[in-house]
Amino acid sequence: MRPSAILEAAVYVDDLSEAERFYGGVLGLELLAKVEGRHIFFRCGEAVLLLFDPKATEVPPEPDARLPVPPHGSRGPGHLCFSASADEIELWKTRLAAQNIAIEADLEWPRGGRSIYFRDPSGNSLEFAEPRIWGFS
């Protein structure tokens, strides 16, 4: 028995409204859930991208909380990579440029496959990459 898939990945942001405009508006992800001042969650295929404000999530739950989710919360730029085909990466490059979002790196990996890197408004390092950089089909 080993974990079969990543169901949720988290990124921490300092401005949830800005994050909503970026991940929902620019990237076009589908909104799943939102709690003002704490988090905003987006669907991404069969997984969920969790955007948290660490100031809220690092506070331990009340002793009588109905859903005592353990505290967590990171500071500083994290990293997340979305899957994309070669054609999609080319289209994303154009679309991000049109929104004045800088492409920080554009790499061809030794084993084949391309990645582009950019930042979300909180400074997290985001990437679009072809699954074949990991040998995935």
Which residues here bind a copy of itself, judged by CB under 8 A?
A: 1-10, 12, 27-30, 32, 43-50, 52, 54, 57-58, 67-84, 88, 91-92, 95, 104-105, 107, 109-110, 117, 119, 124-125, 127-129, 131, 134, 136
Tell me which residue has tokens 């997984």: 47
Checking DSSP bridges between strand 114-119 and strand 79-83, what pairing results, if any?
unpaired
Tell me which residue has tokens 């084949």: 112
Single-letter amino acid code for the residue at 48? V
Smallest distance from a copy of itself to CB 98, Å: 13
Smallest distance from a copy of itself to CB 18, Å: 18
Question: Residue 22's closest CA among 76, 72, 108, 80?
Answer: 80
Smallest distance from a copy of itself to CB 1, Å: 6
